[in-house]
A and B are shown apart, each in its own frame.
Chain A
Amino acid sequence: MTEPVLRLEGVSKSFDEHVVLDGIDLVVEPGEVVALIGASGSGKSTLLRTINLLERIDDGQIWLSGLDVSDPRVNADAVRARIGVVFQQYNLFPHMSVLENVTLAMRHVQRMPRVKADAEGMRLLERVGLAAKAKDHPDRLSGGQQQRAALVRAIATGPELLLLDEITSALDPELVTEVLDLVRQLAADGATIVMATHEMGFARDVAHRVVFLDGGRILEQGSPAEIFGAPREPRTREFLARFRA
C-alpha cells in the first residue's frame, strides 16, 4: 500500500467567531489531481493555506507523506519546501528577473550552485516557452506569462505536492488557456495537485476527483462525472446551476 501524499483528519479553523473550516477529512493519493470547488468564503483558500502551514489549525491533523506536519515540533520551513504553491496574484518577486525567481529556492533552500540552478531554471523555462523572458523582470510579462513563471517557480524544486489557489481568477479570459494548458501538462506528468478553482470546465477535464466545499465542510465529493453529472446534494446542484447560466 502506498502512503497518501496528503491526509487531513478533522481539520478545523476559525477566525475569531467565524468558523472557516469545520472538520475536513481528505486523502490525496500520489499523482491524483483534486479540484476544490465552492462559493467564495467556503474555505477553499484557507484549506490550502493550512496545508502549507501559512495558517495554524485549531484542531485536527495533517500528514504530508506520513509526516504529521501539524505537530509544532516539525520544521515548518522544511515542510513548505516540499510543497509548491501558486497564488491568485502570481506573487512573483518584482526585484528579481524571471530566472532568479525560478531558481531562488534551488539556490537558497536546496543550496544548489548558481550555475547548476540557472541551467535547470532555463531548462524549465524553455519547457513552458518562457526562455526568451528569463532575463526580464516580471512587470514586463503578461498576466498569463507571469502565472506560468509562478508555476515554474513552484515546481522548480520538485515538490511532492502542488497547491494551486484560484490561479486563473486574476487573468483575462484569453490568457486563462495558456495557464491551464501548463497545469494539464503537469498533471499528465504525474504531479499531485490540489487546486481551488472556479474553472468548472477545467475541473471536469483534468481533475480525478472534485470536492465541493460549503460553509467549511466537505458536502460531497466524487469523480467529475458524478459531481457535474449527478450531484446528490441540493446545495451542490444550486451552486453548479449558477455556472451553467
Chain B
Amino acid sequence: MTGAPGILPSRAPSAVELERQAFRKRQGGKSVLISLASTLVVAALVWVTLLNTPGWAAVQQTFFNGEVFVASLPRVWEGFLLNLRVLAMASVLVLLVAMLLATIRTLRGPIWLPLRAFAAAYTDLFRGIPLIIVLYLVGFGIPGLGLIPVRVPAEVWGTIALTLTYSAYVSEVFRAGIEAVHPSQRQAARSLGLSHAKTMRLVVVPQAVRKVTPALMNDFVALQKDVGLISILGAVDAVRAAQIETARFFNFTPYVVAGLLFVLLAIPTIRLTDWYTARVRAREQVGGIV
C-alpha cells in the first residue's frame, strides 16, 4: 500500500528551496576546506615533531629499515600463513562451541540443570582467566599429563586455548541475541506445533544471529590479532618468525612487518563490520537525518 520511494513527479523547485540548496552547498564547501586544513596541520605537526626528536635517526634505523623489511618479509609471511590457518580453524570451532553453550543456557526445566550450570560456570571461568594463562595451561599442562603418546604441534594447543577462551565470550553474544528475539516470535512458532528445538533452530537463532552479527565480527577482529599469542607456545608464527629475524639482523623492523600484516588482515573485516552495521541501520530507520 506504500508508494514506490524515490520516484517523485518532476517539478521545478521553488525559490525558497533553491536558496536553501545554495546555502547548504556553501556550508558543505566550507566544512570540507576546514577539515582538510586541520588534517594537514596536525599531520605536519606530528611529522615535524617526530623528525626533531633526538633519537629519531636511531629509531628509524632499528624499526623502519627498508632493507631489513624486504629481507625479513618472506619468513614473517610464512609464519603469518600459520596464523591464518589457526584463525580459520579457531573461528569455526568458536562459532560451534559458542552456539552449543548459548543453546544449553536457554534450556528450561530441572533435568537440564547440570548442563545449564556447567555452561554458566564455563563462561564465568573462561571470561575470567587471561588468555595467556589458558595458553600456558593448555599448551604445557595437557601434554605434561602424558595422556597423548604422540607429540602434538604447538599450534594445535594454541587453537584449542583460543577456542576455549573465545567460545566463552561469543556464547554470551549469542545468548544476548537469543534473548533479544521477542517472545511473541517463540509463541507464534510453538503455536504452529514446532518443538522447542525446531523453534530455536528455524525461528529464534536465525533472527538472533542477524541481531548480533556486528558484535560477532568485532570479536573476530579481536581473535585475528590474538592468534599471534600462540608464539609463546613455540609455534613459528608471524610473531615468532619476526623474533627470529630480529635476532638475525639485530634490528626490530621484522616486528613492524608482522604488525603491518596483522593490521592489513584486520582492515577488511573492520570495513565489512561498518558496512553491515550501516546497512542494518539504514534498513531499520527509514530516512531521517539524525
Contacts and interface: CB of A to CB of B under 8 A. Distances in A.
Nearest to B210: A95
Interface in A129-146: 142, 144-145
5 contacts: A54-B191, A87-B187, A91-B188, A93-B207, A157-B193
A54 B1 contact: no
A80 B193 contact: yes
B198 interface: yes
Contacts of B207: 93-95
Interface in B1-42: 1-2
Interface of A: 52, 54, 77-78, 80-85, 87, 89, 91-95, 104-105, 108-109, 142, 144-145, 153, 157, 175
Interface string B198-237: 1000110011001000000000000000000000000000
B206 A95 contact: yes
Contacts of A81: 192-193
Given A80-B193, A95-B207, A157-B193, A87 B198 contact: no
Interface in B243-266: none
B193 A89 contact: no
Given A104-B202, A142-B1, A93 B188 contact: yes
B61 interface: no
Contacts, number: 59
A80 B203 contact: no
Nearest to A140: B2
Q: B-side binding surface: helix, strand, loop or mixed?
A: helix
Given A93-B185, A95-B206, A95-B207, A105 B2 contact: no
Contacts of B198: 108
A91 B184 contact: yes
A26 B129 CA distance: 60
A83 B190 CA distance: 11
Contacts of A80: 190-193
Contacts of A84: 191
Given A89-B184, A93-B203, A142-B1, A77 B195 contact: yes
Contacts of A153: 192
B194 interface: yes
A85 B193 contact: no
A35 B203 CA distance: 31
Contacts of A109: 192-194
A77 B195 CA distance: 6
Contacts of B194: 77, 104-105, 108-109
A89 B193 CA distance: 19
